[in-house]
Amino acid sequence: MTAIQATMRLSQTLFGATFHNPVLLAAGTCGFGEELRDALDLPSLGGIVTKSVTLEPRAGNPAPRVVEAGNAMLNSVGLANPGLERVCSEKLPWMREHLSGIQVFVSVAGHNPEEYWRIVEGLESVGGFLGYELNLSCPNDTRLGGLPFALDPDALRGVVEGARRLTDRPLLVKLAPNVPDIGPVAEAAEEAGADGLTLVNTLPGLIIDIESRSATLGGGPGGLSGPALRAVGVHAVHRARACTAIPLLGVGGITAAGDAIQYLLAGASLVQVGTATFADPRAAQRMGRGIARYGQKMGIEDIQDLVGTYRGVEDHPVSVSGGDRPVSVSGEPS
């Protein structure tokens, strides 16, 4: 008689909190959770990252905001959100009441370091969530040329260090893929006080209508996401894992459990599902079950025994600090 394989344990303790499974919804794809409450079972997820919060309300960019781009999607939403004041008065109380069973990160975006810090201060005064994800792909208006913070390690350090002084909550830093080597940027974020890294944000792109000779998106250029971004994201996680010891969250092109597993093998402890949610709001829900089936098939008892077990030809083990106890990338206690 063949022995029945036990289901792989999906829960992890990271950032001092328990994640029941490694699948989260990505920023900008689930609002503040309320928007999807009737479409999927939110408590079945590991958590969510909210829509990015800015200091003032933003109506967003002109339509169309989303277009297909082959095996990808191009979007230019423009960080549409109700602004800090309404988030504090309306969204955070709703999340505290309805999402207490999962972990919530609030995404923060700004045009200059002071805006990030003011938003963190405002959110801290209300609470009701686990931590922050700093969206550092926003242009830095305080420097000539407006290079995004994520592409300028010195500017990135300033934002993260300032936010670190304002909160003891976990700080995730979301990095951009369009850098020659994401390793030094990941190191800069960790040194500045980041507790984790989200890899990666969308890739800049442009689609031109050849009849009108104008952009197909109302805002012109946009951010590329979807399956075409997956290999870029997996590589970024793999590279960051070799340079940093803090937990990584993989995002980009995850449409099925196998895609999420690639990120886990590359070194991500958690994954975020974005574009797939637009096509199927329950996609993330199924991925958690698919990851568990994979572990059962492969005889893996604990998800931490899966994280970071991919090996390239030049790889070296890196210890990962997982919250309450340090964990090596092979999953064994260090």
Question: What whole-number distance in Å separates Cα of residue 202 and Cα of residue 234?
Answer: 13
The active-site residue, picked from 30, 88, 138, 243, is 138
Question: What whole-number distance in Å separates Cα of residue 31 and Cα of residue 85?
Answer: 16
Angle at 39 (CA atoms; ends 35, 45), nearest 5 degrees: 90
Residue 254 phi/psi, 5° resolution? Answer: -85, 110
Question: What whole-number distance in Å separates Cα of residue 228 and Cα of residue 211?
Answer: 25
**Strand 103-108 versus strand 131-135 pairing type:** parallel
- Of 36, 41, 26, 63, nearest to 255 (Cα)? 26
Which stretches of 167-282 are DSSP H helices? 182-192, 230-243, 257-266, 275-279
Annotated active-site residue 138? The verdict is: yes
Give me the residue label for tokens 């709001």: 281
For residue 3, count CB atoms less than 10 angstroms from its CB and return exposed for 0-12, middle for 13-18, buried for 19 or more: exposed
Residue 326 phi/psi, 5° resolution? Answer: -70, 140
Q: Say how many C-beta atoms besides its own lie within 10 A of residue 46's C-beta.
A: 23
Judged by phi (left if over 0) then psi (alpha if -120 to 50, else beta), residue 297 lies in: alpha
Residues 6+ apart with CB under 8 A from 79: 28, 51, 52, 54, 58, 60, 109, 135, 138
Which of helix, strand or coil describes residue 160? Answer: helix
Q: Which residues are catalytic?
A: 138
